[in-house]
Structure 1
Amino acid sequence: MDIVRSILLFLLAALAEIGGAWLVWQGWREERGILWIAFGVLALGAYGFVATFQPDPHFGRILAAYGGVFVAGSLAWGMIVDGFRPDRWDVIGAGICLVGVAIIMYAPRADSMGA
């Protein structure tokens, strides 16, 4: 159950961070205004809290693993929201990142300290 919870939290974090950054981008670069930027900042702030709910207690591990989720999530966001078409190297790179996430987060540990 912890793995399912962890994965759902990573997905929520990606939605908040990538969505927040996209809103700021839209507000500033696409000149949609301060309200878009404000909602983006709020979403980015929410992202900062999501990681604290991860079952693993190690900040460095959580953020390192989230980096891989962010890479894959950013490509997915671009496809869904902006019509971006990743090439095979984008897909391969994102896949490698997700394998890294799985190893960092869910590999069996020798003890509770992650040794």
Structure 2
Amino acid sequence: GGFWMGFALFEILMVITELEPPSKDGKVVWLIVWGIFTLLNFAGTLNANRVVQFVFASLTALFFLLAAGVNNADIHILAGYVGIVCGSSALYLGWAEVMNELAGR
């Protein structure tokens, strides 16, 4: 939730005319910081199952691709596809966790 609240504030500040909007470089830094945070979380998943590892690895890649895509439309599109894969794998992980809990595993 912290990422989305901060990102929404960042985007809102970019369109409010009374305030000087943040530069695109600020957006790059924001995404890189979240990429580093996610990379550290990925390191914590190395003892977890492969799906959890994949979700965090793809999310890490997504943040760094989004940062690179701020100034490059082609990379931004690639980041969109990585985001679809990451989100789909996270949905699968959530479903699998519920099914395993219901099955008593």
Q: TM-score range by the shorter chain?
A: 0.3 to 0.5
> TM-score under structure 2 normalisation?
0.43
Structure showing greater relative contact order (alpha-carbon pairs closer than 8 Å, 6 or more residues apart): 1
> TM-score under structure 1 normalisation?
0.40
Larger Rg: 2
